[in-house]
Amino acid sequence: MTTATVTETPGGQAQADPADAQQVRDLIRFGWAIAEFRGLVRVGNDDPAAAKTLLRKRKYHALPLSWERSAPEQRYELEDVVTKLAADLGLSLSGKDMVDWEHNKPRDATITAAGRVLDLAQQVPADPTDPGWSARWNAFAEALYQWDKQVQDTLAPGPFGKSSAYQLGRGLAEVTWALDPHAPADDVDGWLFLLGRERTLALTQLLERLDKYFEPLTAKSIMASLKRWGTLVENEVARTAEAAVYLRQQALLWRDLLVTDRDPKTLVSPAKPIAEVASIWPVLKALWLQILLGVIGIGVLTGAAFALAHSSGSDNSTFGAAAAVLGVFGITGSGLSARAKSSANSLLKSVNEGLQADLVVDAVTRLPPKVPGEQRQAKLSTPGATLDQVTLQMVDVRAILTPAPAPAPAPAPTAQTAGSEPPAAEPASS
């Protein structure tokens, strides 16, 4: 386990050291693996977000890529990932009190939480219509809930960087792995909860806290991407089975950017900035006042610089005297000329940085194609506007203070509602 620490500034932001950055990435990956493992156990062999076109029937022992592996193969692989990361991070913890579906504690009192959770996962039938599915699923889910509680309690006293990294990885993964596309949109496994304003705000705050660990624009572009998805799913028409497949690909991209430390600028096609020149007119319309004032300021500075440069030979003694006085204070023709050049470069740099940021957000976001009847927000014309962060103003305080209506009784699990569990069988501690 890495011994480097995360230092906290008075403002509460984490300052990353090179050795500690790897630990933060491992915690993000561990949180992601926990959520993905729970999701795989829940959906069994019928993952609604899997790209079905990739699931070809293999023959001649053809070697699959990772996402082409069967659900059981992916589960076995993920078991190794969860076990190894938990051990490396010192988060295997204790599983001696975790009961099975018959309320029996493990015979081995030294068993780790990681080992006990994996044992209970193997008892969950792959077919959610199996009569024993609900009881075994809830035993597994209860054990995983207890392990997650231990992990959060263990990380909480330490620096925010550690605890935030685990929660960020798990929260971003749950956007797709906890989603049941067929559930009511405002249920805990529905579109409007997992991509709702409150959850999006929480994930945004975690990204802000860990911003210094990533490449520039990584955290901010993921924030903007989250915001776009949140806006999309507010429209009932857009909440489709196809959207769930796109959301899975989106979440995988978020994970890769955070875990591999990839620079999001590399996602932008080299030809993309050139293509954006065709849309420069909306930019000029949006910034016409700033550009006009900037041009006027540059013109005034240039004119003043020209006048001062030629004042020495002027017959106008008053103007010459004024130029001499200004020179005493360091205001010269060459100085004003340099300032005019600097102002022009600054204006161009601001517009260019804004356009580059918008291109990165577009490249990071994987929205589904527009569906009939969907009202999608037009592309913002002010450069950099797509990086606007989610703020507290996005949260509807009345919605938070108003108690949520009691959920309707859920039907028995079927192949189409894989993962739906009867409310009466929910884990007691959750």
pLDDT digits (tens, 9 = 90+) for 95-123: 999 999 999 999 999 999 999 999 999 99
Q: pLDDT (tens digit, 9 = 90+) per residue, 381-411?
A: 444 555 554 544 444 444 445 555 555 554 5
Evaluate if residue 261 carries a pLDDT over 80. yes
Give domain status of residue 375, yes or no: yes
Percent of all residues in the chain with a pLDDT value above 90, rounded to a whole number: 47
Residues 151 and 179 grouped into a single domain: yes
| Higher pLDDT pick, 58 / 278 | 58
pLDDT band at residue 160 under the 50/70/90 scheme: confident
Question: What DSSP state is assigned to residue 310?
Answer: T
The residue type found at 129 is T
Contact 101, 139 (CB under 8 A): yes
Going from the C-alpha of 404 to that of each of 2, 399, 401, 408, 427, the distances in angstroms are 43, 8, 9, 12, 20
Q: pLDDT (tens digit, 9 = 90+) per residue, 285-326?
A: 555 555 666 666 656 556 655 565 555 555 555 555 555 544
Nearest to 326 by CA among 338, 314, 335: 335
Residues 333 and 187 grouped into a single domain: no
pLDDT band at residue 269 under the 50/70/90 scheme: confident
Give domain status of residue 352, yes or no: yes
Contact 14, 6 (CB under 8 A): yes
Evaluate if residue 30 carries a pLDDT over 80. yes
Q: How far apart are CA 257 and CA 430, in angstroms?
A: 31
Residues 126 and 243 grouped into a single domain: yes
Give domain status of residue 13, yes or no: no
Contact 85, 33 (CB under 8 A): yes
Rounded to the nearest angstrom, the gap between the alpha carbon of residue 66 and the centroid of all alpha carbons in its chain is 22
Question: What DSSP state is assigned to residue 66?
Answer: G
Residues 88 and 204 grouped into a single domain: yes
Give domain status of residue 399, yes or no: no
Domain interval for residue 346: 272-390
Residues 112 and 51 grouped into a single domain: yes
Structural domains of the chain, count: 2
Give domain status of residue 4, yes or no: no
Q: How far apart are CA 358 and CA 384, in angstroms?
A: 6
pLDDT band at residue 41 under the 50/70/90 scheme: very high
Residues 226 and 299 grouped into a single domain: no
Residues 112 and 245 grouped into a single domain: yes
Residues 159 and 294 grouped into a single domain: no
Contact 87, 114 (CB under 8 A): yes
Instruction: Write down the pTM of the prediction.
Output: 0.74
Give domain status of residue 96, yes or no: yes
Q: In 10 A of CB 82, how many CB atoms?
A: 21
pLDDT band at residue 371 under the 50/70/90 scheme: low
Evaluate if residue 200 carries a pLDDT over 70. yes
Rounded to the nearest angstrom, the gap between the alpha carbon of residue 69 and the centroid of all alpha carbons in its chain is 26
Contact 169, 28 (CB under 8 A): yes
Residues 25 and 141 grouped into a single domain: yes
Evaluate if residue 69 carries a pLDDT over 80. yes
Residues 231 and 276 grouped into a single domain: no
Nearest to 179 by CA among 189, 167, 164, 188: 189
Work out the mean pLDDT of the chain and round it to a whole number. Answer: 77
Residues 238 and 277 grouped into a single domain: no
Give domain status of residue 40, yes or no: yes
Residues 252 and 112 grouped into a single domain: yes
* Residue 169: per-residue pLDDT: 97
Q: pLDDT (tens digit, 9 = 90+) per residue, 1-19?
A: 444 444 444 344 444 455 6
